[in-house]
Structure 1
Amino acid sequence: MNILLLGSGGREHALAWKIAQSPKVSKLFIAPGNAGTAEVGQNVNINSNDFEALKRFALDNDVKMVVVGPEDPLVNGIYDNFKSDALTAHIPVIGPSKKGATLEGSKDFAKAFMSRHAIPTARYKTITVENIDEGLAFLETLKAPYVLKADGLCAGKG
């Protein structure tokens, strides 16, 4: 089976290393990959957010499964893009839909979701420029150290 793994970081290197060990894998392609992934598969110079190029590559190379490493293409809807195209709908994309990836793509959405569903998480408050004084007052109620996060993708950078 030919597999296309998306990404270029350490996570993708670990995934490539393990996927390549399967006797069911005929060819492992990594887009775009890195020096480490080149040791266990074939790097392909395609950006993991170039969905049209990825679909063409998958079709041209008889790819039977796409494994998505980074959050960015998930948040941008790669799963939905492949599924909504009649030519690629049959190729499993391992990762959530765009809607499901919102949990990863928005810290604010994820915290509100956890709060709404009683999932244990640290206290939080959403702060914008309009309520900065409220945010500063909230910080006074916390015991340091505390973490401030911007909403949006971390892209593996915490």
Structure 2
Amino acid sequence: MKVSMILGSLAVCKSSLDTAKRPNRKSEPTLGELDTSQGKRLLQLHELEEIRLDALESSRIYKERTKTLHDQKILKRKFKEGDLVLLFNSRLKLFPGKLRSRWSGQFRVLEVRSYGALVLEGKDGKGFVVNGLRIKHYLVSEKREEASTVSLDDPPTC
């Protein structure tokens, strides 16, 4: 009997040349006639292949679910000309202040270009081009409450 390994699973190969040379001998055993140790090993290999395929399937399902959950949390940012935006300052990572914000400015969008590029109006009035991923909307509330000041120098008298 000739047994060969093919990509991690056993394959039983019958050779017609071996039986032609030895006509007195019995033909090679089939898969059902294999002794118990070979049959058990073949069964274990099939079970192992099934477990591997189940693991691949569950991994694929997990990746799909994770992707959908991640994609739900991504905000679609659409900018128009005249919007007020904040710019992310990535260079601040080198020397961060404890409470310092990495978002700077209040810039106005002058132009929306292709592939997410934006032209913002700088403090000097000139425009500069930035990547749209570094921008977020600046949300301004229209009504402002009047602030009251309390002097801490003089305690109130009773």
Q: What TM-score range do you get, normalising by the shorter chain? A: under 0.3
- Considering fraction of residues, name the structure with more strand: 2
| TM-score for the superposition, normalised by structure 2 | 0.19
User: In terms of Rg, which structure is larger?
Assistant: 2
| TM-score for the superposition, normalised by structure 1 | 0.19
Bigger relative contact order, structure 1 or 2 (CA pairs below 8 A, ≥6 apart) = 1
